[in-house]
Structure 1
Amino acid sequence: MDIKILFINRSQPIRKAIEKLDKTARKILIIVEDSKLLGVVTDGDIRRWIIKNGDLSAAVENIMNIHPICLNIEDIDKANEVMKKHQIEALPVVNEDNEVVDVIFWNDLFTNKINYKNTQDIPVIIMAGGKGTRLQPYTNIIPKALIPIGDIPIVERIINKFLEFNFKNFYLVVNDKKEIIKAYFNKKLSYNISFLEEEKPLGTAGGLTLLNTSIYKTFLISNCDILVNANYSKILKYHKKNNNKITVVSALKNYVIPYGVLKLNEKGELEAIDEKPSYEFLVSAGMYVLEADILKYIPKNSYFDMVSLISLCLHKGEKVGVYPITSNSFLDMGEFKEMKNMIEKLNT
């Protein structure tokens, strides 16, 4: 890899840094001037800026780490030791003139992911009970959870992503065509899976009441039509560190208005034209971290969605946090256009 694709100027807007992070998919950018190391920006730095509601048009120097952990090229044999000690995913390498000559990545040295929290005992609930009406006629034949993305059903891709971070205990909330889903998993598995069977549709939160006393601590929820490319143990760490009752994983989406937007004054006269303005929004990615005591707010045997649960928790004064990820880290197959996009991205 040409490391120069990771280089960015300190005056570049944070919005451009986000685009570059999405394009390179390396979760780090190197701030340089004449190839000399000035600092680094990671996805975590951008996440903290977004949470503070920072201006994305501000220069990237506002969020860069000016004292990054780096390695002199003469000590490159110590890369393993340094990365393990500091639990960092990327390590810039500089020469005697402080010029960046290489970047070493955790994934290139180690097969295991960086884990910030023990995840083996953390349950994962996958909401797989929906009819997938937006994907008809496919879902007239097979359940949405088993629609293949490439040659692997979406629900298995979701589980495989969790397995990368050592999650082992899964619950599937099922309803529509549930016998087909159960039959698919009737094979030898390297993880534990249980089925929570709805007698009627209970929504994206109502099915959690079927857990009864099975869950008594922190757990994760994922819709069955999304994939989140993030470090799930980092999400857990963030949730715990901030003492959240619910953490909503959110994706930063950019929308461009394909017209000149008119701004009028008080007299109704044209004051300015904003040509094809761009707006960023945080949208729910369909993944959540919850504390078990939140389950008390969900009515039994009633349709209840996640938005209603979150709104009720906010009304009750419970702490609800947000964990932002970039647009490219969120893949959705809820509709045909998004499903095609997911297939293309996973096959590149």
Structure 2
Amino acid sequence: MITLQRTNTSDYREIIEALNQGGQGYVAIVDDKHKLIGLVTDGDVRRCLLDNTLSVTHLINMTPATCLVTESYEYVIQQLNEKHLKQMLLVDSNGCLAEVVSLDANVFANHKNKVVIMAGGLGSRLGELTKVTPKPMLHIAGKPIISHIIERFRNYGFRDFIISTNYKKEVIEDFLKNGREFGVNIEYVNENTRMGTAGALSLMREKLDLPFFVTNADVISMIDYPDLLRSHINSVCHATMCVRNYDCTIPFGVIQSDNNDIITDIVEKPTHSYSINAGIYVLNPELLAEIPDNTFYDMPNLFLDIAKKGIMAQKYQLNDYWIDIGNPDDYLLANKEAVEFL
């Protein structure tokens, strides 16, 4: 967060120097109690130069856009998108600057890569919760899971979606419609029979001609989708699977011995870490030819099958917030954590 105190700023060159040193394209102007006064951006400097009005008074925007620091990150991103801004100043109830959210060009881009959401599952592990409501429509922090997924992609500039539906498809389609209310484009592919987490891709061969995302409809993550796409495109791989570390602790002392059963060590309650499938992928369109027609086929099967053929796939380490809402405990946890992460 780049700031200058207004009381100490009498020369416009100090502001320009702060802009140059900060390298963030902005300087927030505050008073000695850190109360927000205004904002100066690179664009303000260019405007003043063109108007021949370069001075402290003309440089500072005294009415910059602000949000309360208590607002959700998603709301702040939405405001930035709607107002076509690159910075949002977050203030507390006293008007003091608390944080600055800055976005790069990815957020304002309009990527042509499509997003496939697999939303046809039964959600049977969630029991009574999905008797009437399909899992993607269960609410987390006041809105359906699938809304969180779509909005995260949209806020990074991905606006074209294909949603595969089956179980209670009308509930999903009636809510999302064509996506216009969410600022995206949505088309649907219906699974007449359940086809797994990859089988429905066989119904989309004519719709996907660029590397595309596939995500399960029950995972919420704070992943940087443009970075994931760049990692995939810059690799020599045809498929990328997001993975998450999962630690398992053995609640006992583990005995280590040699080939003659002589004890050599005892490790108390060791923890082992594994990479687990996070349910988010990027695939090249040529892999669609590997998907069998009219068959129940899960994504892990695709990765195993292409590996046997020598078609390379990579993993992408996911370190941001992620949760798979697969059972009632996960659902309760997601709603609890939503206060912090969503």
**TM-score between the two structures when normalised by the length of structure 2:** 0.69
Unpaired runs of 5+ in structure 2?
Answer: 2-15, 26-86, 89-98
Give the AA of the match of 2:19: D
2:161 maps to 1:183: no
Q: How does 1:212-227 map to 2 (within 5 A)?
A: 212-227=205-220
Q: Of 309, 312, 332, which aligns to 2:324?
A: 332
Q: CA deviation at 1:269?
A: 3.6
Structure with bigger gyration radius: 2
Show the counterpart of 2:106.
115
How big is the shift at 1:118? 5.2
Q: Mapping of 1:133-152 within 5 angstroms?
A: 133-152=124-143
CA distance in 1, matches of 2:108, 2:270: 41
Q: Could you report, residue by residue, the CA deviation over 1:159-213 in whole angstroms, capped at 9, with x for unpaired residues?
A: 1111110110011100000111111113742110011101000110000111131
Aligned to 2:269: 276
- Count of residue pairs the alignment pairs up: 255
Superposed displacement of residue 301, structure 1: 0.7
SS at match of 1:233: helix
Q: Is the 8 A contact 1:113 1:165 kept in 2?
A: no
- Counterpart CA distance in 2 for 1:281 and 1:119 is 35
Superposed CA offset, 1:126-155 (max 9, x none) = 000000011011111110110111211000
In the TM superposition, what are the counterparts of 1:1-348 in structure 2 within 5 Å?
A: 76-78=18-20, 82-83=23-24, 108-113=99-104, 115=106, 120-186=111-177, 188-189=180-181, 190-326=183-319, 329-348=321-340
Q: Which runs of 5+ in 1 are unaligned?
A: 2-73, 85-105
C-alpha change, 1:79 and 1:230, in structure 2 (3 Å) is farther
Q: Name the SS of the counterpart of 2:277 in structure 1.
A: strand
AA of the residue aligned to 1:287: I
Q: Please say if residues 117 and 236 of structure 1, whose CA atoms lie closer than 8 Å, have aligned partners that are also in contact.
A: no
Q: By how many angstroms is 1:268 displaced?
A: 2.5
Residues 241 and 282 in structure 2, CA contact (< 8 A), matched pair in contact too = yes
Letter in 2 for 1:186: K
Q: Which moved more, 1:184-193 or 1:224-233?
A: 184-193
Equivalents in 1 of 2:17, 2:308: separation in Å?
55
* CA distance 1:79–1:141, shift in 2 (3 Å): farther
